[in-house]
Amino acid sequence: MRRLLFIGLLLFSLVVSAQDEVDVYIVEGKVDAGGPKIPFFTFNTRDQFDSTNAIFTFPLGIAVTFNVTNLVDFTCGFEVRGWGSIDAIPSNESRSLTLTFDESGTFLVQDPIGDHRALGLGTMLVVSDFDGAEYYGVFNEHEPDWIEAIAEGGSYNRNIYHPDAFTINGFGFPRTKSDARSMIMGNVGDTIRVHMLNAGQMYHFPHWHGYHVTIKKASHHKNYIGWSKDSYGLAPGETMMVELVPDKPGRYPIHNHNLVTTTVGGNYPGGMMMHMHIHE
């Protein structure tokens, strides 16, 4: 009887440990991309603005309840692409969504209403059973005219899009170098996973100096999977997981090969640059 009771308690503890609850807040502020501050909206895990969206990471098999509160003055939504969504969250109200992540991968989290992702409401969710180092890069560009028009319910021309600020995880270079989520550290021979998301409206082209990476998963360019590349395209809304096995030590950049994105207000350097520091 004791053995059965112990097994029952063990099974109960396993079920409880495979659940999680996350508070998410939709908040408004300004992002400093290295030039004039730009209106920006983010998904944060506290009710105060942070210029970088939360990046959600979970182990494989977990059930997660997202309690999403909208702190801006218009209706927003919350979607984990391929898993489920909350279609509408009125201003100053909350809604909940429970999802069980039984597949590993990198997934887009966004506000699916209209062009709300252009406000900044796009980030990634990673489900992983990997036991090595993992890093994360959310690529985004910022078009103030679009942001202001969308937030205020005004009109804008979808054929005219001229962003002049570009960020990774809400930071422009050189601030990206102090972001522990995207500043890649490792040793020769390590297997390192890097998760990337294009949260913007235009194509982005990560380019790796010093190394090639193997593309393990891609949500849009599925023909890339298995390729060893030093450059590749990220479609708007696309997620990608790559693996890096460094063959030599050194310090190398990763930058967007669309070179306008490595500027701020037309001035170089800035914008979309990550870095690696690989040791012997």
pLDDT single digits (tens) 22-50: 999 999 998 766 667 788 999 999 999 98
CB 106 within 8 A of CB 195: yes
In a domain, 11, yes or no: no
**pLDDT band at 206; cut points 50, 70, 90:** very high
The CATH number that applies at residue 156 is 2.60.40.420
**Residue 12: what pLDDT?**
30
**Residue 37: what pLDDT?**
79
Q: Quick one: average pLDDT of 215-228?
A: 98
In a domain, 7, yes or no: no
The helix (run of H) or strand (run of E) holding residue 6 is helix 2-17
Share of the chain above pLDDT 90, in %: 84
Q: Quick one: average pLDDT of 180-208?
A: 98
Kindly report which listed range (149-158, 202-211, 233-242) carries the lowest average pLDDT score: 149-158
Q: What is the pTM of this model?
A: 0.91
Report whether pLDDT(251) > 60: yes
pLDDT single digits (tens) 135-185: 999 999 999 999 999 999 999 999 999 998 899 999 999 999 999 999 999
Give the chain's mean pLDDT: 91
Tokens of 5: 């009771």
Q: Quick one: average pLDDT of 204-233?
A: 98
Kindly report which listed range (76-80, 156-160, 194-198) carries the lowest average pLDDT score: 156-160
**Residue 13: what pLDDT?**
29
Neighbours of 69 (CB within 10 A): 16
Tokens of 258: 């669309």
In a domain, 68, yes or no: yes
In a domain, 155, yes or no: yes
Strand partners for 194: 135, 242
DSSP, collapsed to helix, strand or coil, labels residue 52 as coil
In a domain, 69, yes or no: yes
Report whether pLDDT(7) > 70: no
CB 20 within 8 A of CB 64: yes
DSSP, collapsed to helix, strand or coil, labels residue 191 as coil
In a domain, 1, yes or no: no
Write the CB contacts of 236 (distance below 8 Å, at least 6 apart in sequence): 198, 200, 201, 202, 203
Q: How many CA atoms lie within 13 A of 242 on its CB side?
A: 28
Share of the chain above pLDDT 70, in %: 91
Q: How many domains does the chain have?
A: 1
CB 186 within 8 A of CB 278: yes
pLDDT single digits (tens) 91-133: 999 999 999 999 999 999 999 999 999 999 999 999 999 999 9
**Residue 6: what pLDDT?**
32
Edge to edge, the sheet with strand 250-256 lists: 184-187, 273-279, 250-256, 206-208
- Cα 278 from Cα 244, distance rounded (Å): 11
Write the CB contacts of 249 (distance below 8 Å, at least 6 apart in sequence): 188, 278, 279, 280
Tokens of 68: 């999403």
Write the CB contacts of 145 (distance below 8 Å, at least 6 apart in sequence): 156, 160, 162
Report whether pLDDT(17) > 80: no
**Domain hosting residue 133, numbered range:** 19-279
In a domain, 3, yes or no: no
In a domain, 5, yes or no: no
